[in-house]
Amino acid sequence: MKRFFLLVAVLVSFLSSPLFVEGAQQKRKIFQPVWDRLPKLQEDHPFSYPTALLVFLLFLLAATNLYLKFRISASIAQIPWKGVRTDPRVARWPSENFFRKIRLWGYLKDLAHVEAILRLRQRPSLQLKKQYRWNKRLLRKYLDLLTTIHCADEARFALGVLGSVGSSRSVLPILNLIRRFPADPDVTKDAASVLLGIRKIKILRDILSSVAWAEPSLFGVLSEVCRSFGEEGVVFIVKELDHQKSHSIRFGIFRILGEVGGERAIAELEKFLHQGPEKERIAAAHAMARTGNESAIKPLIHGLCQNPSPAVRDGIARILADLPREDVLKQLTHLLETSPTHYFRIRAIQGIETLQSDSGEALSRAISDPDPRIQRAAAAAMERMGVIQNMLHCYQEDFCDETQAFLVSAGRAGVIEPFLSALKSKESKGLKRTVRLLAHIGNRQAVPILIKLLNTTGDWTLKSRLIPALAELDATESVPVMVQHLKNKHHWVRKTSMDALGRLLSPDSMLRRETLPILHNVLGEESPWTRASAIRVLTVLEDRSCIPDLIRLLRDPQTRVRVEAAAGLKKLHALEAEGQLIALLNDPKQKVSAIAASALGQFKSQKSLPMLFERFKDAGFRLRLSILEAVHQIDPAGPDLLLEELKAANRINLKVLRELKEVRSFDPSRLLYTLARIGEPEIRNQSIRALHGVGQPESKALLLSLLQDNDAAIRAATMDAIALFLNPAMSSFISEMRNDPDFLVRLRVILALGLIKDPDALPYLRNAVYEKDSRISAHALLSLFHYAEPQFLTCFLDKFKEVKVRNLLKKITSNRDDPVVALLIDQIPESKKLEFQILKDHTLKSLDLFLEEQILSGKTTKNEKLKAMMIAGTLKRKNLKKALKRVILEDPLPEVRAKALRAYSAVAVISKEKEIIQKAIEDPSLEVQTMASRLLIHFEEEPV
């Protein structure tokens, strides 16, 4: 039809041209006689000229119509293709008008050409192209003919023809052939080879439009074709994805990207993981997992941590379970154990939970984490996984300390339902162990169930576990039930009930009157356990009517009963028992004598002094401490006499020194002076360290004299004691010991200089940081934490890179038993807290996440953010480029943007970052502009 209109236009333009008009005028002169005779002919013959012309045209039309019928019939007969006769355009041709027949004839001519090509199956493609002109119109007709194919053989031959042509227009018909013959592998194979042979990237547009309805066989072909274009194909696919609006096609494109795989595809999919609708983000996560590449694990974990949508996080967590479990678990466990952000650690727990059986160990460690939020998240995850229920069942069957500690941690983290459900068990052993766990957990939700179980069970062993558990849970509502159990027939139930009442009752309790008669009766029982428990409860209730009974029980044959009776008389301040308590000092059990001495000291009994002095001579350590305290309470000058006894002994049990802090009632300085001069080195060492707490001039003088002792251990201990005085005036004495021949003494000098904070010692410490010996470097760096040293951060970061020094620092700071180290850690200035946290919790590998959190978090102060950026720049942490770039472009504070730009110049190659420098030059802040200009000048001065 287009050609017809084109012919008419050419004809009209020709008729209107000047050449045609001039030629017509010349011909008119030649034929003028004929035109002059026409009127006469018309008069002679009445048949008019228009009529003749109409007849001629009708004749011509009839002849043309007959010719078209003949040609159409011949063409149909010549084409033996099955689909030609069933084609609707061919089937109804006899009833079509003239113009439609003309179009049909042209269509059949094209089909004849196609049929001729189909007959040349054995000829090479070049000869075929040379013999037949394969133009676009003919190709379009052939592609239309492909819809009439009904068998796989014809489809395979057609694919061969299309492969020889190699046109991008044939993509959709080829895909339709694959859909029509999905069961024939040869058709699929031939179609794939044809598509792979068309090396035009624009065919991906047709392929991507078909992925929405693609079946598995077809989808495999499409993925193979897309994969053959490599990274160029990935870029084209992503562009099509940006322009595509159909959700079904977008999901299909995500699948294709996942099948294509590669680092570039993962990088592009990661962008869609944090933007767009939830379903598309989940589709992007599925595609990343489908790549099967280990490098997809880290972006997926990053998406799990930072995605705000719970549905997306759940989807990513399930997807992670389909990836290699060992690698996923390793990275999630590392994130859980090293991340400083609790939010990321909780998301790591969510990911570990999906790994099911492989994740128990990591969650078991997390359940003991110091952060309660991490504990709750880990416990809830393990409860959902059924791990806690299984471990509780194993614990009920076979006791294990580690299992008990784990279950207690889980219960304290908020998982209580499995333990309450376990109380419904009818097995006695399992019930007892569950009750023990609930007592350790301390959750009062179990109290009503435990009281009900106490009232209903008849097992005395179970009752004896339930009663202490209720006391441990501070269940005051169970007191009436325990009072009733004081009359239980089994003595151990009565004993545990009394112990529990001793914890739960008070002197003003409403049940006091009801309880006292029962307790008085128990004092006469045979069981020493019940008698001792009854004494404790009577003492708690402050029942002075039981004093005669307690005096009588001081002669009880059982040690336990005598101890409780003496302690009860002391608490009740029973002065009438003074004589009996003096006699009790000679008890064969020193534990009983110690309590009696303590009671006499409280009573300030002058009568007991001779006996106390006599008993002190051959007493053991605990009894001596009790007598010492009692004598001081009775007569403050009394300990001087006892010190003479210690001097005569010349050897003291070292436990005395460890327990001196328990004796608060007298001044131990004289004892320490004596012990510091005793010849035994170990005693002297401990005594010298204790002298710093005395704070008297005599003790300082003694310490300074001991600095010249021949024993290096004594000098080291003296150095610690002098440092603990925290007196800057003593720094000169410490500095004199820098060159001590003993290495241990020199290390203690370095720590002492950290406590004293002597400015004159700063050069010495700075040089010591860079000593070859890592031990000296570590101790000097710990001391520098206490100095306002401008170069401290540089020293710290230089040594932080050295693994040996870093490990030594962690080992030193973990020794809280060392008083000097403990004081150094406690007094670290606020300005150095960040560096100390990095030292204590991080390595170089885990530092990036922490610094990124400090830089981007809105909760950190400006100084913390500036220091974190300085650390990132000094250590040249390239992983923080994105965070620093974001601060440069988005942070509202000019000072922060300028510092971020400076740090960015250290972690990035400035010559490749002209764009960010240019944006910084356009910054409204003069400070940022100045920093950017300096960097740009520096870049221009660099040699090319």
Question: What is residue 496's predicted lDDT score, i.e. its pLDDT?
Answer: 83
* Winning range, highest mean pLDDT, from 228-232, 810-814, 861-865: 228-232
Kindly report, residue by residue over 142-188, the tens digit of the pLDDT. Answer: 666 666 666 777 677 777 767 666 677 777 777 777 777 777 777 77
Task: Please state, for a pLDDT cut of 70, what percent of the chain lies above it.
Answer: 60
Cβ atoms within 10 A of the Cβ of 212, count? 15
> What three-state secondary structure class fits 879?
helix
Q: Of 1.20.1250.20, 3.40.50.880, 1.25.10.10, 3.40.630.40, which CATH number belongs to 543-620? A: 1.25.10.10
Q: How confident is residue 647, by pLDDT bands cut at 50, 70 and 90?
A: very low
Residue-wise pLDDT for 480-498, tens only, equals 887 788 788 887 888 888 8
Q: Assign 122 a pLDDT band (cuts: 50, 70, 90).
A: very low
Neighbours of 909 (CB within 10 A): 9
* 223, two tokens: 């993925």
CA dihedral over 793, 798, 801, 806, signed as positive or negative: negative
Contacting residues for 707 by C-beta, under 8 A, at least 6 apart: 715, 718, 719, 722, 733, 736, 737
Averaged pLDDT, 316-332: 77
Q: How far apart are CA 80 and CA 75, in angstroms?
A: 10
Say how far apart CA 221 and CA 178 lie, in whole Å: 9
Q: 596 — phi, psi (to 5°)? A: -65, -40
pLDDT at res. 633: 79
Long-range contacts, stretch 614-618, CB < 8 angstroms, 24+ apart: 615/585, 615/586, 616/642, 616/645, 617/645
Q: What is the pLDDT of residue 666?
A: 42
Model pLDDT, residue 43: 54
> Which pLDDT value is given to residue 679?
47
pLDDT at 345 over 60: yes
At residue 943 the predicted structure's pLDDT band, cuts being 50, 70 and 90, is: very low
Per-residue pLDDT of 868-894, as tens digits, reads 777 766 666 666 667 777 777 677 777
61, two tokens: 């039309």
Comparing 388-402, 417-431, 514-528, the range with the smallest average pLDDT is 388-402
Phi, psi at residue 498, to the nearest 5°? -70, -40
As a dihedral over the C-alpha atoms of residue 626, residue 631, residue 637, residue 641, rounded to 10 degrees, the angle is -70
Q: What is the pLDDT of residues 435-466, one digit of tens each?
A: 888 888 877 888 888 888 888 888 888 888 88
Q: Which of 425, 420, 465 is nearest to 447 (CA)?
A: 420
Short-list 311, 285, 313, 312, CA closest to 299: 285
The answer to whether 835 touches 793, Cβ cutoff 8 Å, is yes
Element (H, E) at 307: none
Q: How far apart are CA 111 and CA 830, in angstroms?
A: 90
Q: Which of 36-50, 359-373, 756-770 has the highest mean pLDDT?
A: 756-770
d(Cα 624, Cα 721) in Å, to the nearest integer?
Answer: 27
Closest to 480 (Cα-Cα) out of 443, 455, 445:
455
For the chain, the structural domain boundaries read: 543-620
- Reading the block at residue 840, the tokens are 């204590």
Question: What is the band of 702 on the pLDDT scale with cuts at 50, 70, 90?
Answer: low
For the ranges 271-275, 651-655, 686-690, 840-844, the one whose mean pLDDT is highest: 271-275
| Residue of 252, 163, 172 lying closest to 215 (CA atoms) | 252
Task: List CB contacts of 222: < 8 A, sequence separation 6 or more.
Answer: 175, 207, 210, 211, 214, 256
Residue 908 in this model has a pLDDT that exceeds 60: yes
- Res 36: pLDDT: 60
| pLDDT greater than 60 at residue 778 | yes
pTM for this predicted structure:
0.45
Indicate the DSSP class of residue 191. H
Q: Which residue has the higher pLDDT, 480 or 687?
A: 480
Q: Look at residue 646 and tell me whether its pLDDT is greater than 70.
A: no
Average pLDDT over residues 553-563: 86
pLDDT score, position 8: 55
**Contacts for 116-125 with beta carbons within 8 Å, 24 or more apart?**
117/142, 117/161, 118/157, 118/161, 121/157, 121/160, 125/163, 125/164, 125/165
Res 124: pLDDT: 38
Res 457: pLDDT: 84
Per-residue pLDDT, 101: 65
Contacts of 338 (CB under 8 A, 6+ apart): 841, 842, 843, 845, 846, 849
